[in-house]
Amino acid sequence: MALLEIRGARRVFTTPEGGKVAALDGVDLDVAQNEFVTLLGPSGCGKTTLLRAISGFEALDEGSVRLDGSDLSRLPPFRRPVNTVFQSYALFSHMNVARNVGYALEVRGEARPLRETKVADALEKVGLSGMGSRRPGQLSGGQRQRVALARALVAEPRLLLLDEPLSALDRNLRQQMQLELKALQARLGIAFVFVTHDQEEALTMSDRIVVMREGRIEQIGTPREIYRRPRNRFVADFIGETNILVLTVERIEGAIARARTAEGCVIDLPSAGRAAGERLTAVIRPEDFTLGQAGIAGVVSRAVYLGSDLILFVRPEGGGAEIRVTARDRAGAPEPGAPVHLSHDPVAAHVLEGA
């Protein structure tokens, strides 16, 4: 049985002009025990509203939120067995780290010896043992983020909610904390629901990703499923770099369907389910193209160096949109203006649903 069950979640807001906007529009979602689920989407897609509905800070107009089979809909936030780590961390600057972490236990009336034991344990879990006497202003951004995590964990919640907690960190620290958060979640064995608009963050940390747009769920899947098999054009465009090709199937040759763009680029696809004359939209990731002696003829129009990758933009000979290609041999990559040929494994071409 799922730990968290959301059914038919709907939340409508009134705009300053008097219009209505559905921040959540019939959302259904299950989260399993010990699962790391990421809500991913652009600003305004409803991911933070959904998180607030789970925590109780936002009331639903319709639908239900159940945890371990119990309906949370009528419970106030402080009665729900969930905790939230906010983007701002929301630490008390006048309290030291230990008091920040143990504040909820203090309010709850727990005895000081037990409180101190739990605080020490929570700080050890996040790698901050011995720092209880420091003030938040004496800590780095990553350390403050860990204090916020310890404060959320000390009350032993069944579910931890995280609202873009890494967005204020610099890139290197953010990447380090992504790995630490995932390792911490696996070690603690509790479910995390994490909100972000950063695709790399979602792919790095998640057991499953929930891609949202305009209050609805577009796709739910593992990082590999979302990246390699996006359901529609929005998901394909939003998750990583990709090439989107509108094609017409010309003929079937055994296991291969040979298709062509309007400009004449020939793309091979698996033939299963395909038919001659069919119009479709396929995606091929930049790393799935290979520079060689045959295939799509074109000219390198520009190259973009991204540190770990070198992306070549190739203008096909017959015209049309540039094709992005990851250059495997960066040292020997062709320069802008050089003629090239692009080939690909047909299996790498993924056809989008309903496109």
Domain boundaries, the chain: 4-238, 243-351
- Residue 36 pairs in a beta bridge with 192
Instruction: Note the pLDDT of residue 313.
Output: 96
Does the structure show a pLDDT above 90 at 1?
no
220-244 tens-digit pLDDT: 999 999 999 999 999 999 998 899 9
| % pLDDT > 70, the chain | 99
pLDDT winner (highest mean) among 104-118, 136-150, 208-222, 320-334: 208-222
Instruction: Note the pLDDT of residue 170.
Output: 80
Burial 137-165 (b: 16+ CB within 10 A, else e): eebeebbbbbbbbbbbbbbebebbbbbbb
| Beta-carbon count within 10 A of 60 CB | 19
Domains 4-238 and 243-351 share a fold: no
CATH architecture of 4-238: 3-Layer(aba) Sandwich (3.40)
Rounded to whole angstroms, how far apart are CA atoms 36 and 19?
Answer: 36
Q: What is the mean pLDDT of the chain?
A: 91
Instruction: Note the pLDDT of residue 354.
Output: 64
Using pLDDT thresholds of 50, 70 and 90, give the confidence band for residue 73: confident
pTM of the model: 0.89
286-302 tens-digit pLDDT: 999 999 888 999 999 99
Instruction: Note the pLDDT of residue 355.
Output: 55
User: Please, are residues 352 and 230 in contact by the beta-carbon 8 Å criterion?
Assistant: yes
136-171 tens-digit pLDDT: 889 888 888 889 888 888 888 889 999 988 887 788
Rounded to whole angstroms, how far apart are CA atoms 39 and 55?
Answer: 15
Mean pLDDT computed over 90-99: 89
Rounded to whole angstroms, how far apart are CA atoms 182 and 48?
Answer: 20
Mean pLDDT computed over 64-88: 90
Rounded to whole angstroms, how far apart are CA atoms 322 and 300?
Answer: 9
Beta strands in the chain (DSSP E): 4-14, 20-31, 36-40, 62-67, 70-71, 82-85, 159-163, 191-196, 208-213, 216-221, 243-253, 256-260, 266-270, 279-284, 289-292, 296-305, 310-316, 323-326, 339-344, 350-351
Does the structure show a pLDDT above 90 at 305?
no
Domain topology for 243-351? OB fold (Dihydrolipoamide Acetyltransferase, E2P) (2.40.50)
Instruction: Note the pLDDT of residue 135.
Output: 92
Using pLDDT thresholds of 50, 70 and 90, give the confidence band for residue 347: very high
- Cβ contacts of residue 38 below 8 Å, gap of 6+? 193, 194, 195, 196, 201, 202, 205, 206, 208, 209, 210
Token representation of residue 90: 């929301």
Cα–Cα distances in angstroms (integers) from residue 29 to residues 74, 106, 245, 255, in the given order: 19, 34, 31, 37
| % pLDDT > 90, the chain | 63
Instruction: Note the pLDDT of residue 286.
Output: 95
Does the structure show a pLDDT above 70 at 7?
yes
